[in-house]
């Protein structure tokens, strides 16, 4: 006995490797196929279309194949409506719930495809008002409430992975092949500057994710300047970043070393603790700026320029500062909000915060990831975003060079 189902591929299915993965999946899982239609988009901006009849020896195999194809954006030609199942209790998803990818996704409700809002990976999809004016959104597992209508199974879901850009000369097409330090650093930073300027020119939202190494490596001034000049709309960081940034303003040091003179002043290794106690005394960063205590630095510029900053807590925090959100679920909520608003994300030397932000990003958001450790860059790029580029370079020279490109030397 042979069972079959017809699937469709649309978009830049050749460049993006979708077609290859499709064939691989079918054959790996013991199926077979006929190519019913194959229409190749010739010009760079034309899309392709293919229709395949997938054959399998039994229903279970066919279902496996269709599931795997689905993850790659290959969808059945004869879609059904999605299955909606009420959540049995708060925080408890129904059995067989559909867990999202980070690609743009539609669900079919009442015969119509509706887009899932705020798509991100590893969430459930909740549909509201399916009989009336249905809407769909992602929901993290611990945000599920009893009786939420959760999509289960895989019917009626359509995934649209973004295309890998074919044009290498574009702002985001400059990265091919693996992660390596052996790439032209300055030319690549120039490309990032062009991309960032383009996003700002279109009124886009730029989110910077920054670790304490930005400050330790002496890049604080350049980042503060980018904030002041309006290139940064939001900052996602932690208690350590803010503490060391403010310490630098108050004492000139970071990790106890003077950033300019490279001297280690007496008690330098206690400056971060003194900084925290000063800010606690003031009541918070904004208050310390208002009081005239904090007069420079990245956090100062964020306060003065109404840049949306989120300081997420971690178990290695000293203090923490009053502005730090110590509950990780609450902090994730704020990070999620920033991630969804961003059109471009620049990740600077922080694995923890970059992963946290990256978890909330759809695959279509542009991401630049900078770290001196190639393993960190690789790990961040492995999230399957076609729009992400990685630079293995020194953040201490990257940010000043980027600022020079954007702001000129004058």
* Nearest distance in Å: CB 201, a second copy: 21
Q: Are strands 124-128 and 157-159 parallel, antiparallel or unpaired?
A: unpaired
Cα separation, 154 vs 104, whole angstroms:
15
* Nearest distance in Å: CB 154, a second copy: 10
Q: Which is nearer to a second copy, 129 or 260 (CB)?
A: 260
Cβ-Cβ contacts under 8 Å for 58 (sequence gap 6 or more): 1, 3
Cα separation, 351 vs 211, whole angstroms:
8
* Nearest distance in Å: CB 293, a second copy: 13
Coil vs helix vs strand at 159: strand
* Nearest distance in Å: CB 71, a second copy: 8
Q: Which is nearer to a second copy, 230 or 281 (CB)?
A: 281
Angle between helices 351-359 and 328-341 (to 10 degrees): 70
* Nearest distance in Å: CB 342, a second copy: 16
The answer to whether 152 and 85 have CB atoms below 8 angstroms apart is yes
Q: Which residue has the tokens 């989110």?
A: 207
CA distances 98 to 88, 119, 358, Å, are 15, 13, 20
Q: Which is nearer to a second copy, 28 or 112 (CB)?
A: 28
Q: Which is nearer to a second copy, 32 or 343 (CB)?
A: 32
Q: Which is nearer to a second copy, 32 or 229 (CB)?
A: 32
* Nearest distance in Å: CB 58, a second copy: 15
Q: Which is nearer to a second copy, 73 or 134 (CB)?
A: 73
Q: Which is nearer to a second copy, 134 or 276 (CB)?
A: 276
The answer to whether 102 and 360 have CB atoms below 8 angstroms apart is no
* Nearest distance in Å: CB 77, a second copy: 19
* Nearest distance in Å: CB 2, a second copy: 12
Cβ-Cβ contacts under 8 Å for 65 (sequence gap 6 or more): 25, 26, 29, 31, 54, 56
Q: Which is nearer to a second copy, 147 or 382 (CB)?
A: 382
Rounded to the nearest 5 degrees, what angle is found at the Cα of 205, between the Cα atoms of 203 and 209?
Answer: 155
CA distances 271 to 267, 295, 318, Å, are 7, 17, 12
Which one, of 49, 32, 31, lies nearest residue 40 by Cα?
49
């Amino acid at each position: 006995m042979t069972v079959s189902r017809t699937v469709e591929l649309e978009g830049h299915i050749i460049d993006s490797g979708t077609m290859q993965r499709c064939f691989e999946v079918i054959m790996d899982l013991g199926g077979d196929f006929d190519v019913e239609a194959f229409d190749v988009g010739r010009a760079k901006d034309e899309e392709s279309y293919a229709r395949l009849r997938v054959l399998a020896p039994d229903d279970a195999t066919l279902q496996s194949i269709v599931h795997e194809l689905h993850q790659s954006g290959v969808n059945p030609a004869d879609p059904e409506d999605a299955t909606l199942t009420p959540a049995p209790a708060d925080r408890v998803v129904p059995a067989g719930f559909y867990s999202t990818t980070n690609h743009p996704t539609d669900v079919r409700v009442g015969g119509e495809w509706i887009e899932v809002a705020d798509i991100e990976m590893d969430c459930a999809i909740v549909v509201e008002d399916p009989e009336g004016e249905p809407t769909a959104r992602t929901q993290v597992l611990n945000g599920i409430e009893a009786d939420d209508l959760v999509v289960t199974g895989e019917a009626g879901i359509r995934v649209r992975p973004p295309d890998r850009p074919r044009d290498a000369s574009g702002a985001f097409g400059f990265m091919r092949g693996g992660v390596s330090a052996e790439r032209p650093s300055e030319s690549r930073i120039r490309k990032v500057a062009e991309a960032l300027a383009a996003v700002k020119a279109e009124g886009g939202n730029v989110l910077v994710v920054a670790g304490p190494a930005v400050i330790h490596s002496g890049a604080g001034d350049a980042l503060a300047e980018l904030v002041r000049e309006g290139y940064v709309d939001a900052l996602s960081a932690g208690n350590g970043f803010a503490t060391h940034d403010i310490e630098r303003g108050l004492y000139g040091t970071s990790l106890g070393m003077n950033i300019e003179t490279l001297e280690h002043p007496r008690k330098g290794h206690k400056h971060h603790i003194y900084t925290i106690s000063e800010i606690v005394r003031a009541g918070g960063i904004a208050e310390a700026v208002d009081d005239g205590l904090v007069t420079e630095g990245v956090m100062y510029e964020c306060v003065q320029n109404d840049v949306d900053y989120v300081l997420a807590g971690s178990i290695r925090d000293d203090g923490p500062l009053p502005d730090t959100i110590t509950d990780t679920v609450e902090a994730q909520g704020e990070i999620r909000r920033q991630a969804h608003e961003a059109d471009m994300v620049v990740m600077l030397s922080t694995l923890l915060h970059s992963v946290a932000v990256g978890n909330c990003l759809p695959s279509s958001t542009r991401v630049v990831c900078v770290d001196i450790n190639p393993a960190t860059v690789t790990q961040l790029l492995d999230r399957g975003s076609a729009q992400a580029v990685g630079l293995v370079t020194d953040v201490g020279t990257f940010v000043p060079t980027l600022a020079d490109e954007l702001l000129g030397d004058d």
